[in-house]
Amino acid sequence: MALWDDIERSLVAWQDAGSPEITVVRLRITAEARTYWTEGDPSLRWRHRIG
């Protein structure tokens, strides 16, 4: 799948969630991955594996 497809899907999910402010985004950092999410909306969750 193309990178742009992932970006577009993320943008649509963010807009569908009412375009929440950056202050509601949470971040968890581990040795394996970085996980970003917005409380109360499971569609706004991204995980970036390290390595």
Domain boundaries along the sequence of the chain:
3-49
Global pTM reads 0.68
User: Of 31 and 10, which is predicted with more confidence?
Assistant: 31
Bridge partners of residue 47, in order along the sequence:
35
Q: Residue 1's pLDDT band (boundaries 50, 70, 90)?
A: low
Chain segment 13-50, per-residue pLDDT in tens: 899 999 999 899 999 999 999 999 998 888 889 898 99
Confirm if 51 and 33 have CB atoms less than 8 A apart: no
